[in-house]
Amino acid sequence: MTLKFRHALGEVVREQRLAKHLTLRGVSTKGFVSIGHLSDIERGVKEASSDTIEAIANGLGIESYWLIIEAGYRMTGEAPFIPDTPEGLFIRNSRWVEQYSDLVI
């Protein structure tokens, strides 16, 4: 069964928050998102707008695209990983590596 985006995003947000030893209150305060809304997003109950994803990422101290990319990987069933460089995107997907093998990274 494929995860819905909201469930995959919620998993990623919660894992990042816990890995950084942050509370819901800490992320909500830094990101200017209500605790209730953040909790609903983490549990996959609510969809997050692009503005909300940006706010949560700010609260976590990471780039918003990392959350989106990792949620996409979760939806495909691949192992968790948030690339920290553009090169990481190519390394993550072997089809991309083959397709762009002539590029120097």
Residue 43's Cβ-count burial label (10 Å; 0-12, 13-18, 19+) is middle
Coil, strand or helix: which one is 100? coil
Contacts of residue 51, defined as CB under 8 A and 6 or more positions apart, other chains included, come to: none
The predicted pLDDT at position 2 comes to 65
Q: Domains along the chain?
A: 5-99 (1.10.260.40)
Query: What tens digit of pLDDT does each residue of 28-83 get?
Result: 999 999 999 999 999 999 999 999 999 999 999 999 999 998 898 888 876 555 55
Query: Model's pTM, two decimal places?
Result: 0.72
Nearest to 58 by CA among 88, 89, 20: 20
